[in-house]
Amino acid sequence: MGRTKMLTVIEGEDFIEIQSTLPTGQRVLFLVFSLIPWIAPYQLIIKPDWMDYFNVFFLIALVISLGAIIVSAFFIWAAIAGLNSLLRFDKRQGILSCSEGAPILKWRTTQCAIDAISSLRIEKHDWSDGSPSYTIQIVIHDGREFKSGSSWSLTEMEDILQRVSMFIGLPVQA
């Protein structure tokens, strides 16, 4: 199954950026999907003319409806809290900046000196089903870690890591 690139790399003479964004179209799609589970409460609770709320059938309908509302809430949360991230290596200023944010979360930026980077590597994340995903992991001498957005493509991550490695002059750690 072909997957589109999940990361965008922007290179300039003095900088390289790795951007990972949740596109607006996907956010809207999650919001649209959040409406579908509301069919269950409508069909099971609102539409029927319940004469008595204290019976087994109503309780079953109520449990199913609450489950549907929870699924809907999950899609809404994915739409409004899906993170965007940015790693920027600025050679002119000698700074690595790591920024993260979402529509409901304030952008947060952490910086450190590029010279403080002790290692660069690809981290593999195995999932119980489906393919693994990969992130670039940047370890600082003081033990802090920065991670890029994830990608399903190991080849894409290896290419990006090699470009960053050459840009900052630090070999890739296996």
Query: Quick check: 60 pLDDT over 70?
Result: yes
- Structure tokens of 68? 């549907």
Query: Quick check: 173 pLDDT over 70?
Result: no
Give pTM, 2 decimals. 0.76
Query: Quick check: 140 pLDDT over 80?
Result: yes
- How many CB atoms sit inside 10 A of residue 22's CB? 19
CATH of 8-22+82-168, one of 3.30.160, 1.10.3470, 2.30.29, 3.30.70: 2.30.29
- 31-53 mean pLDDT: 90
Residues of the chain with pLDDT > 90: what percent? 62
104-138 tens-digit pLDDT:
888 999 999 999 999 999 999 998 988 899 999 99
- 92-109 mean pLDDT: 91
At 1, the pLDDT band (50, 70, 90 cuts) reads very low
Q: What is the pLDDT of residue 4?
A: 53
Residues of the chain with pLDDT > 70: what percent? 96
Query: Quick check: 66 pLDDT over 70?
Result: yes
Query: Quick check: 2 pLDDT over 50?
Result: no
Average pLDDT, the chain: 89
Give the start-to-end residue ranges of the domains of the chain.
8-22+82-168, 28-80
At 5, the pLDDT band (50, 70, 90 cuts) reads low
